[in-house]
Amino acid sequence: MNLILGAGLAGLSASWHLHHHDCVILEKSDVIGGHARSIIADGFTLDHGPHISFTRHDYVRDLFARNVDDAFHEMPISVANFYRGSVVEHPAQVHLWQLPQPLRAACADDMKAAAAARLESDLCTPRPPDNYLEWLRRSFGRAFADALPAAYTRKYWTVGPEEMSVDWLGPRMHTPSLAEVEASLVPGSRNKGYYITTGRYPQTGGFQHFFERFADGAHIRLNSAVAQIDLAKKTATIVTGETLPFRRLISTLPLPDFVRLCSDVPTDVSAAVEQLDCTQLLLIDVFAPRFSHHDYRWFYVYDEDKASTRIHCVENMAPANAPAGMSCVQVEVYSSRHRPLGEPPESTAVRVANELVELGFISAADLEKGLVRIATRSCPFANIVFTKPRRSALDTIFRWLEDHGLSREPDDLDATTDWGADPASPVGSIVMAGRFAQWKYFWTDDCVLRGRQIATTSAGRN
């Protein structure tokens, strides 16, 4: 039997691509969908933080479209940033004219110098940056790097950029040329540079609607948290005490949880697990009468004195997500062992509500009149943090799992997967799948493609 741990996108995709043949999925929650699930309650449809499909893979685009019978919205993605009272379009490095003075002038000078230095260094072979801060300063100059992305890094990734590697960056951060810096200073200019340009979202049912058909015909056991795994005996025991044998174990559980559930873990592997960093998400849903309309799909909040890190209105993804005249503003607040929340979630929620008044999402009068309802949800695994020890810690864990049937893949330490590269090695009897099991920068399309890859590479071995 293929025993699949977790009914999030990666687990569902693996089962669906295996035609659910000989597959059983164990899911600890009472619902499917994992991080990409949607909740429908009181007329609102709520995802777990903003989810939109911006995949460049035709296979996933077509699959999602088919799953909703083509009933999706396709929308341009325009994003903005809040920075000390200014609204600056994203990416801020190509909209310098919207930055307040004197920062604007300092950023322009530094950014031009950085662009010129890069041109010069192109003539020789520059030393690769040692860390993300160095990369930021080389790309944007010190003034911009320190005031904006470095500050945002501390809020979103919860560590300083000097502690992060650069292997996760890919096309995420646009480095402006000299000409682009000049153009970014022209008042009124709208400049490109964000790696997400358009996105798709189901017309109804929330993001989950894109993939819930994967569950049709699947053998899913809800409320079945795995409590123990015996790799030698090839069994998994669920909280009820029931033990299930497996021929192949496909885990989508967060890797640290998976290792902690295993028996006889060597001390170096337990120590490696402690080096893996992930953020926790406190998601604050603020339900209020619709107050102000924002043309942007979501907002990044750079100010370090504000808890709010990213904000979006659920009805901006699909009008059906909120009842007429009402809004749900979702605010993400991140913490980790490096940057604990330091207060009860309810206290953060109150702070966030006041920040939303200041930023123009809800009205002070509505808040005072009690017309605003606030709910919080916590998520223990949100974003993998690409700190420098990640690769060697993963290597230690995977080397140990290799002894128990994991088949190593050439790119298993990389932050992302190149789906166009040569097919992965055949899967073994232990398989890691998904964002938190592979400890990679995976979006929903990566999780779908991983499920397909598992089915393809295990064909003939079943």
- Own/partner long-range contacts of 335-344 (Cβ < 8 Å, ≥24 apart): 335/158, 335/279, 335/280, 335/282, 336/158, 336/159, 336/277, 336/278, 336/279, 336/280, 336/385, 337/277, 338/158, 338/159, 338/277, 339/154, 339/158, 339/159, 341/280, 341/282
- What string marks each residue from 417 to 436 as x (binds ligand FAD by CB under 6 A) or -? -----------------xxx
Strands 277-278 and 310-313: unpaired
Q: Which is nearer to ligand FAD, 291 or 441 (CB)?
A: 441
Answer for which of 166, 226, 318, 401 binds ligand FAD (CB under 6 A) is 226
Name which of residues 8 to 47 contact ligand FAD (CB under 6 A): 8-11, 26-29, 34-36
| Nearest one of 300, 310, 229, 236 to 264, comparing CA atoms | 229
The reply to whether 6 sits near ligand FAD by the rule CB under 6 A is yes
d(CA 311, CA 51): 12
- 33 DSSP 8-state letter: B
Q: Which is nearer to ligand FAD, 32 or 164 (CB)?
A: 32
CB of 86 to ligand FAD, least distance (A): 25
Q: Judged by CB under 6 A, which stretch of 2-10, 101-109, 212-220, 293-301 contacts ligand FAD?
A: 2-10
Q: Judged by CB under 6 A, which stretch of 125-133, 249-257, 340-348, 368-376 contacts ligand FAD?
A: 249-257
Which residue is listed with tokens 């659920």? 314
Answer for which of 225, 244, 265, 341 binds ligand FAD (CB under 6 A) is 225
Q: 259 near 269, Cβ under 8 Å?
A: yes
Answer for which of 447, 448, 449, 455 binds ligand FAD (CB under 6 A) is 447
Answer for which of 5, 150, 166, 317 binds ligand FAD (CB under 6 A) is 5
Q: Give residue 358's identity as a one-letter amino acid code.
A: E
The reply to whether 51 sits near ligand FAD by the rule CB under 6 A is yes
CB of 146 to ligand FAD, least distance (A): 26
Tokens linked to 19: 């035609």
Answer for which of 3, 24, 52, 94 binds ligand FAD (CB under 6 A) is 52
d(CA 7, CA 250): 11
Beta bridge partners of residue 229, listed in sequence order: 236, 262
The reply to whether 155 sits near ligand FAD by the rule CB under 6 A is no
Q: Give residue 300's identity as a one-letter amino acid code.
A: Y
Q: Which is nearer to ligand FAD, 140 or 443 (CB)?
A: 443
CB of 449 to ligand FAD, least distance (A): 11
d(CA 394, CA 434): 15
Q: 20 near 218, Cβ under 8 Å?
A: yes
Q: Which residues are near ligand FAD by CB under 6 A?
A: 5-11, 26-29, 34-36, 49-53, 225-226, 252-253, 257, 281, 332, 382-383, 434-436, 442-445, 447
